[in-house]
Structure 1
Amino acid sequence: MKTIFRIFSVILIASLWIACDSDGSNSNSSKPKARGSIGEIILVMDSAKYAGPVGEAIRDIFESDLPGMIRSEAKFKVNRVDPRAMTRMLRMSTNLIYVTTFDDRGAASQVINAQFSKESKEKALNDPNLYSLRVEDEYAVGQEVLYLFGNTEQQLIENLEKNGDRLENLFEIRERGRLEKAILARKNTAANAEAKDNLGIEINVPASYQVAKSEPGFLWVRQPTPTGNRADISLFFHVEDYVSEEQTFPENILTLRDSITRQHIFGDPEDPTSYVVTEKQIVPAFQNMVINDNFTTEIRASWKTNNISMGGSYLGYLMVDKEKGKLYYIEGFVYYPNEVHRDALREIETILLKTDVSWTPETGA
């Protein structure tokens, strides 16, 4: 392995963060290809440290519950490994996180500490704000390796608490990029044509999805062949005039959402009273953001059918295009009883965030 000191010096110049070359074009082609499922992280860390305050700070970042879920589900699938048990196969994992503190004399932490030179430890000692080191393709092509360290546990915890969102976002963006390459290699051009004609937007939907319903102002596409290993995922898109900021208030977003599903989406197509509604017993989570210069509210919540025993999770985005005077509601919902929804929701997020509401028929963009 390249010495940590040489890498560390480069990272210091760039404030410890290196731009990620997502296609691995600058990687050593003789290295094996990284392996690991989407959302999986191998956490290399002493067991005692993981059970203590440092481990709690790490869990708060990577293993905290997804909001709006019926059941408790962690944001990432984290597998902790003792540093002394690292094998060649584990070192080829797509996402690796090493965690240590330089004051830890335990045998497991010392395995990680030995990878840092005396000079790099001195740099960390002189700058308590240094806590992370990112290395791309260290053991395999397409790999992300993150070192999280501190002179003491308290120092590391403080840095983790200050930078938790940044660290989580690093892996969220990376995993969406990996998933996008996998599921959007082939796209459903018919669904995109329907979206352009009926909603005036451009969507990117995998070829495996099919149009379930299309009419002016509304489009529903669905993965038609769910299995025991594959969730039933539906996506729908709605547009209406934007007339007031009140349309973006959380309670009004839920009212809009339920009015759309009540009109168009049913647990049993033969039973119009089986329409889909938001599960009010689970508090929906809202987050405001800006996507492509458009004010957007993200909604993570749970759904159920009005009168039959069906339910699941959903992820939606309310987008405002003031220039066009339009308000868009786009959503993906999951039906996957007694199974984990995290992977399906990440797929939904990846697809929906590729939606372009600025598309116009005049310019095609």
Structure 2
Amino acid sequence: MKKILFQLTVTFVLGAMLSSCGGDSNPTMKNSTGKPGEIVVVIPKATWEGEAGDTIFHFLAQPVADLPQEEPMLNVVHIPPQAFGEIFKTGRNLLLTKINPSVKEPKITIQRNVWAKPQIIVSVQAPNEKSFTDFFAKKGNDIVSIFVKEERNRLMKMYADRKFKNDAVAERMAKEHHFTLNVPKGFVVSVDTTNFVWIRYETPNISQDVIAYWYPYTSDSTFTRNYLLNKRDSVLKKNVPGPDPGTYMMTERQIPTLFRAFKLNGNYTAMLRGLWKVHGDFMGGPFVSISTLDPIRGRVLTLEGFVYAPKKDKRELMRQVEAMIYSVRFPDQKKNDKINRMAEMGNDTSAPPVDSVETK
């Protein structure tokens, strides 16, 4: 399968003619090239066709979790060092390798905007092929996360840019619901109630949706997978109808839903990632949600992005709505920060513990 990736070189060259969106207009720096989710791996052909190359490909092209059809985390383009000329140096995502006895021990370095912008370059070095393979096997998921997060950050930066940002939606959310959200122009608010908002972008072939709902924070059990899934299904049944009477959106429970707890902008947050379906119909697709604590208002705010795109690739569509929900901010975050600091010092037992486990 790796060998056919040489054909992707043609795709990359064509993609090089399209400049990616960058907020910086430095005239001395070229715009990066390549499609979103594309990565150029620079490594000798013989090494690429051996165990080291197999290990690199295994991690970079692993399937994205919780998509209805299999799609790789990154589209991999292999380039041998002698072919790594100017046209490839402007790639948005570069993985450079060095296997040489002069390298004392395996290491990773990260650089940004060396030959173009926005650009991220991850270099992996090792003294020999075995140590390189072992090191990459240990750090592979971390390396993938670096590139995927960088793609999300690029989208977030673009959606915050006044050329793309839907100011009307952002201002409406801030004024009426006390949070801000960056969505691009073209998205419209289709439903707006006292505790539920639905923002949509639709074409004849796809639908990208962002919903937000909020409810009182009452206990630590709020930030558990079962509670959040049950809350999700109760809200969707009431607010997201299907195409026919009696049909409604719900979580696909036959497929495990990913769960992760972390902090977002200093606030305790839990993420769900899985599949949705419509009760009484055949519609379905992927979703991602984050539920974040708003201490000053004593509420939990859930933001969810989901996609309906039959027979279409969904990875990039999902990454776009994910970037939108991760842009959420509270206008009085400084007050939340104060409460969060008090909770961490043990002066407030009402906040959920920071060390909640991360599970699948």
TM-score by length of 2: 0.78
Which residue of the partner structure matches residue 202 of structure 1? 180
Match 2:215 to one of 221, 234, 240: 240
Tell whether the 8 Å contact from 1:277 to 1:306 is kept in structure 2 after alignment.
yes
Which residue of the partner structure matches residue 11 of structure 2? none
Which residue of the partner structure matches residue 16 of structure 1? none
Tell whether the 8 Å contact from 1:35 to 1:94 is kept in structure 2 after alignment.
yes
Which residue of the partner structure matches residue 298 of structure 2? 325
Q: Displacement of 1:258 after TM fit?
A: 1.0
Distance in 2, matches of 1:192 and 1:182, equals: 14
Tell whether the 8 Å contact from 2:23 to 2:157 is kept in structure 1 after alignment.
no
Cα displacement string for residues 260-302 of structure 1 (whole angstroms, at most 9, x for unaligned residues): 111111232xx34221111122211111111112111111101
Cα displacement string for residues 307-355 of structure 1 (whole angstroms, at most 9, x for unaligned residues): 1221111110111233431111110000011221111111112111110
For residues 30-179 of structure 1, the aligned pairs below 5 Å read 30-102=28-100, 122=102, 124-125=103-104, 128=105, 130-179=106-155
Cα displacement string for residues 129-151 of structure 1 (whole angstroms, at most 9, x for unaligned residues): x4234344443343333322211
Matched residue type, 1:187? K
Distance in 2, matches of 1:132 and 1:215, equals: 49
Tell whether the 8 Å contact from 2:68 to 2:286 is kept in structure 1 after alignment.
yes
Tell whether the 8 Å contact from 1:194 to 1:219 is kept in structure 2 after alignment.
no
Q: Percent identity?
A: 23
Q: Displacement of 1:155 after TM fit?
A: 1.5
Any unmatched runs of 5+ in structure 2? 1-21, 337-360
Aligned length: 312
Aligned CA RMSD, in angstroms, stands at: 2.6
Distance in 1, matches of 2:296 and 2:82, equals: 58
Which residue of the partner structure matches residue 313 of structure 1? 286
1:274 and 2:240 matched: no
Cα displacement string for residues 200-249 of structure 1 (whole angstroms, at most 9, x for unaligned residues): 3222221210001000011000013x255xx4100000000010111221
User: Helix, strand or coil for the counterpart of 1:177?
Assistant: helix
Cα displacement string for residues 124-172 of structure 1 (whole angstroms, at most 9, x for unaligned residues): 22xx1x4234344443343333322211223223332443344233223
Cα displacement string for residues 38-78 of structure 1 (whole angstroms, at most 9, x for unaligned residues): 22111123344334432343234322222222222222222
User: Helix, strand or coil for the counterpart of 2:30?
Assistant: coil
- Which is greater in Rg? 1
Which residue of the partner structure matches residue 290 of structure 1? 263
Tell whether the 8 Å contact from 1:198 to 1:218 is kept in structure 2 after alignment.
no
Distance in 2, matches of 1:134 and 1:295, equals: 28
Distance in 1, matches of 2:156 and 2:300, equals: 26
Matched residue type, 1:279? E
Any unmatched runs of 5+ in structure 1? 1-21, 103-120
Tell whether the 8 Å contact from 1:38 to 1:179 is kept in structure 2 after alignment.
no
Distance in 1, matches of 2:173 and 2:24, equals: 34
Q: Displacement of 1:31 after TM fit?
A: 4.9
Tell whether the 8 Å contact from 1:70 to 1:282 is kept in structure 2 after alignment.
no
Distance in 2, matches of 1:37 and 1:58, equals: 20
Distance in 1, matches of 2:185 and 2:24, equals: 26
Distance in 2, matches of 1:193 and 1:34, equals: 32
Tell whether the 8 Å contact from 1:321 to 1:358 is kept in structure 2 after alignment.
no
Report which stretch shifted further, 132-141 or 173-182.
132-141
Which residue of the partner structure matches residue 211 of structure 1? 189
